[in-house]
Chain A
Amino acid sequence: MAILGAIDPILTKGLDADASDVSDAWRCRAYVDRGGYAALRKIVSEKIPPARVIAEVKKSALRGRGGAGFPTGLKWSFMPSDYDGDKYLICNSDEGEPGSFKDRDLLLLNPHAVIEGMVIGAYAIGAKRAYHYIHGEIPEACARFLEALDEARAAGFVGSDILGSGLCVEIAVHRGRGAYVCGEETAMLESLEGKRGQPRNKPPFPAASGFYGAPTTINNTETFAAVPFVLSMGADAYLAAGKPGNGGTKLFSVSGHIERPGNYEVPLGTPFGTLLELAGGVRAARALKACIPGGTSAAVLPAEVMMNLAMDYDSISRAGSMLGSGAVIVLDETTCMVGALEAITCFYQRESCGQCSPCREGTRWMHRIVRRIENGEGRPGDLETLEDIARNISGRSICALGDAASAAVQGFLKHFRGEFAHHVERGECLVPREVQREGCRLREISKEASTP
């Protein structure tokens, strides 16, 4: 575990693979040595009002790193300031989208940045209690965060009297237990309330009615981790690190057919080619076939589109996909696109909460059809039906999971229809099985990087 590469890093500065010793870099002392908790100290000592913190975050153009890319400062400003009861802040580390694994590394490498961001966020929105919802499948990261939390509490950065200022922010960890949909913020609220993680119908949004009906702000781990840096380096400097409307740097999780899979921090707007190069290029120097730029929920884009793309919210959106959580899945020439879509549709039908009809029924139906095509049992009309189902789910489900499943199917059919049609007509793949297998061959790699 390490940040395998970076260009002008902010969040992971001093934590990349080249740094001499990363084993203790996560500790409070090391974080403070890197300038950590300075932003919080400044807020507390200079009594900077919450509104100014929010204004600064707004100015930095920091956008939510969880997938939707919603401007963070704006989200915070939705919280009612005249609310009588308790308000809540929630950190979303329920990372479960195939291709996305940045939160895990962030929690392992720089947990104090997340803690500091949460405390500052809680201060800004006026919450005394914060919860950190951590994906169930990453026990090591959870343990690391809890240890860091103890350190932070002991050092007076978290608790009932932060740095002697009387400011109170308590943080507690709530562990997920294996449900991707809980990454959706209202499903997360249900889960936090001890129920099935079924998304709520919106509006009302969490800022109006969230955790137990109280105003609640939910942000992604990486967003919180960025907050201390936004404040300590200043909104202008942070914004300048990225590009207009897309402030700062972003962690990209690069996986799939890539030479050095891992997390890379680069400024928003970095060309895809640069990122690809940073990650060692396509595995075994094969040719790039396609790329899913923002996790499986984003539409797949063919190589020629990708190679001309800058990695920021707006550019990828214009290309017909989305940056999402920054999960870049690289697909090389050995990839069977039908097989890839089968894996994706399988994921969504398993992870659909089952609450609303279009998603419950539609995701399963799509998967069955794709699986049939993959198994060589495609029928004429299958592709049209598939497209139709995807269109019929889109915009009609309670949450974005249905839309995501739909976008994935539509993306694959849009750009690789010929390959699907070949499957249906011939009952076999354009890419020979042996080639596919070769592409996915298990790779023996150096000992220290294998089973920990």
Chain B
Amino acid sequence: MTNTVSIEIDGKKILAKEGATLIDAARDAGISIPHFCYHKKLSVAANCRMCLVEVEKMPKPVPACATRVADGMKVFLHSELVLGAQKAILEFLLINHPLDCPVCDQGGECRLQDLSMRYGGTRSRTREAKRVVSPKDIGPLVSMREMSRCIHCTRCVRFCREIAGLAELGVVGRGGDSEIAAFAGRSVDSELSGNLIDVCPVGALTSKPFRFRARAWELCRRPSISPHDSFGTNVALDVKDERVVRVLPRENEEINECWLSDRDRFSYEGLNSPDRLKKPLIRIDGALREVEWNSALDYAAHALKSLVEAHGADALASLASPSATLEEIHLLQKLTRALGSGNVDFRPRRRDFSTDGHRSGIPWLGMRIAEIAELDAALVVGSFPRKDNPLFALRLRQLAKKAGRVSMLSLADDDPRIDLAARVAVRPSELPAALEAILRAFARSHGEKEPGSRVLSDTTAPYAETDAIRAIAESFAGAKKSAIFLGAGAEHSPTAGRIHAIAGAFARASGARLGFIGDAANGVGGYVAGALPTGLNAYEMFAQPRKVYLLHGVEPELDCHNPAQSLFALRHADLVVAVTPFVGETTLEYADVVLPAAPFSETSGSFVNTEGRVQSFEGACRPLGESRPAWKIFCALGRLLGLPGFDYASSAAVRDEILVSTAFEGREGVGEIGRVGRVGWVEGLDNALDEAFAPREAHPAAAGALERVSDVPIHFSDAIVRRAAALRETKDAAAPEARMHPTTLEDLKISDGERVRIRQASGSSGAFGASGASGETTLTARSDTSLPEGCVRVAAAHPSTAALGDMFGTLTVERA
């Protein structure tokens, strides 16, 4: 409990937290003090001097952002001294600020414009020439063309260092000649770079994709939830002419604070991609042709029915994208089961399903998002946090800043821009053993007997207890609140179950919590929607090809664990019905019916994020062309197929059915769900495994075999993102390369930059051994010391690697 002090602002008594700054205390009391450089999430700079206020007994006005409250303090915001200071500061700031508001993107939502109108003078007294600052190029997302508009508040500089974790911008030069610049003209490559646009109080840093597209007052701002990662970031969609033209963060302290990842901010371009399908397509005489909805639905229903009748319900498999809405996933599984098939799933990138049926509940983060930064120690296993979930990485960064200890057990030493206590990078096949080594080291140093449970006695070789392993174990010593987070690399691993079990054992031993970071908007929602297979899972449904596929929002050739295998099955199926907003070239090859579905921005629905929070949203604009909300499409199909229970009046009705049938509670005073901003929490979240769980047998990689390390590049993670034009120009969207440790390259007698042919079994495979057909691709070899030896990092989810097999497995490399 913090103490409060009593202060007086313009004669009004307010209570303030002891140690608070005046500007914060005033804001908490609903009083705003004008400012430019102050930002509640950044360190205090006190350089703009706009927030000068008068404090009784102080000879000079003081900056409210840098002055702490003291009991009995009397503050004046409207005295002559203060008004004079404000007017003077604005005059100073405007001396060199171009008067180009009519052509400035910030016009209408500019702090300098607003405060000048309110506090500034009416005429300019300067006769001197204005400063001209040369334009800078920091990449495809943020424009630094009009740097003459900069007022030197340094918010951008502080943002890079304090929030994004790396100084990418700085103040170069001195005095009136100083300017904001990146080092040696480099680009700003932070995955959070778009926030620079928001923190800039003027029009110096603007959005490149949005530039000159619209004026602030022409936009309709609609609340929504971002579909690209497991956090459910709160966004505002700015709509003009029924198109999303900009995405901004909606502040939510519990989730995204006031930040947005670049993926969430700039993915909207994908919504307006030329790949958007406007009318239903059906295959007629070998070619897909546009038809009316009635014909398409009739055709799909008829074909589904007759093929299921002819080949049995097991011939049908359905796969939903984990970024589809709760309602859509639910209706897809309901439809599939009503047709008699249990072959339904929503986890296309998963390989090991051994925990199905053995979980005590729905796998989740294990805590609230806001609790991450409160931990004393955290171990992140199998994740590239910045690229998997930028805001998760941000929370870890906050945790490290508060002197908490963050360590990583990963598949490559990517720079997380977090001060790490310890880190180990291992080959994918070594991950369980390395985690076990941490557990053993921890147990021994805590005088406990060696944990020797069944799960741990592994067939793989034990991992040596290195200093780094011990350091990770040690980082948990004495921690009151600690956690182990399993990332995408752990969840997609062929030994995911074993990793889960060992992590669970470590959590029990150390008193830590176990959590799944999650890799999609509805990673938890899919479970809530009841979309777990009772037949074939997401991997098996392609490994054992079906006659009929019903796809929703997925592009299996990019989204599945084994794209080549998935594509093979789809190409040989009798019927593929794709419900999707997009129609890519590959979809055109295998789909027989394509039903244009509205993406998240054009439909209502809900996401359940990785902390179990249900967030519902409405469509922000009308569905494009003739596309329809997918929940309506599934309802129509259900009705046409004569199935009961598809008469929903709204997506909310679907949701209410799900949340009543699964345990659900609107807790913590958040209450009623159903409206944006109102949330509830699902129940039944539990990361424990039951006693009967037996991990899937992992076939060790053959000695000397090269192991594939794969990740899902941040800007290829789903169908919307990979169609966003500006994101595709970022460094993060560079074409995949075959990255190897220099020693590995040397062993292969391949040099950095050479083209290499990668071959990988694409057929049904064991864990790290493989058999069957093989796929190949040609990539550029790249030396990369961040990788363990004996590995080749080849990204998944990219067309250039789609011919390959499992995300993890062995492969061969030879000079092309």
Contacts and interface: CB of A to CB of B under 8 A. Distances in A.
Quick check: do A and B touch in the complex, using CB within 8 A? yes
Interface of A: 179, 196, 201, 349-358, 360-365, 368-369, 379, 385, 392, 395-398
Contacts of A368: 128
Contacts, number: 86
A351 B175 contact: yes
Contact of A365 (B46, B89, B95, B175): B95
A365 B126 CA distance: 8
Contacts of B59: 395
B125 A354 contact: no
A201 B47 CA distance: 9
B262 interface: no
A354 B88 contact: no
How many B residues touch the partner, as a band?
35 or more
A349 B175 contact: yes
Interface in B171-194: 171, 173-178
Contacts of A353: 174-175
Given A358-B89, A385-B125, A350 B175 contact: yes
Interface of B: 44-50, 52, 59-61, 63, 66, 84-85, 88-89, 91-93, 95-96, 125-128, 151-152, 171, 173-178
A356 B153 CA distance: 8
A354 B92 contact: no
Contact of A196 (B50, B89, B171): B171
Contacts of B178: 354, 360
B144 to A, nearest CB: 18
A406 B317 CA distance: 79
16 contacts: A196-B174, A201-B44, A349-B175, A354-B176, A358-B49, A358-B88, A360-B92, A361-B93, A363-B176, A365-B92, A392-B88, A392-B92, A395-B60, A395-B61, A396-B61, A398-B46
A353 B47 CA distance: 11
Contacts of A385: 125
B777 to A, nearest CB: 47
A362 B92 contact: yes
A201 B66 contact: yes
A351 B84 CA distance: 26
Contacts of B84: 392
Contact of B152 (A179, A354, A363, A392): A354
B48 A354 contact: no
Contact of B177 (A354, A358, A362, A365): A354
Contact of A179 (B52, B88, B89, B174): B174
Contact of B175 (A352, A369, A392): A352
Contacts of A360: 92, 152, 175-176, 178
B48 A364 contact: no
Given A354-B152, A396-B61, A364 B93 contact: no
Contacts of A350: 175
A353 B61 CA distance: 21
B292 to A, nearest CB: 63
Contacts of A354: 152, 171, 173-178
A392 B44 contact: no
A357 B47 CA distance: 7
Nearest to B171: A196
A361 B174 contact: no
A351 B96 CA distance: 18
Given A355-B45, A365-B128, 10 more contacts: A349-B176, A357-B92, A358-B92, A362-B92, A363-B175, A365-B126, A392-B92, A396-B85, A397-B49, A398-B47
A349 B178 CA distance: 12
B613 to A, nearest CB: 38
B197 to A, nearest CB: 22
A350 B176 CA distance: 8
A354 B152 CA distance: 8
A354 B48 CA distance: 11
A357 B176 contact: no
Contacts of A396: 49, 52, 60-61, 85, 88-89
Nearest to A371: B128
A351 B178 CA distance: 12
Interface centre among A179, A196, A360 (most CB of B within 10 A): A360
Contacts of A362: 92
Contacts of B92: 357-358, 360-362, 365, 392
Interface centre among A201, A357, A360, A396 (most CB of B within 10 A): A357
Contacts of B126: 365
B175 A357 contact: no
Given A395-B60, A396-B60, A361 B95 contact: yes
A82 to B, nearest CB: 21
Contacts of A398: 46-47, 49
Nearest to B48: A357
Given A357-B47, A398-B47, A364 B88 contact: no
Contacts of A349: 175-176
Nearest to B68: A203
Contacts of B128: 365, 368-369
A357 B61 CA distance: 15
A390 to B, nearest CB: 11
A376 to B, nearest CB: 15
A395 B62 CA distance: 9
A349 B131 CA distance: 14
Nearest to B94: A361
Contacts of B95: 361, 365
A350 B173 CA distance: 11
Contacts of B96: 361
Closest 5 CB pairs of A and B: A392-B88, A361-B92, A354-B178, A354-B175, A395-B60
A397 B63 CA distance: 10
A354 B50 CA distance: 16
A357 B49 contact: yes
A385 B128 CA distance: 13
B64 to A, nearest CB: 12
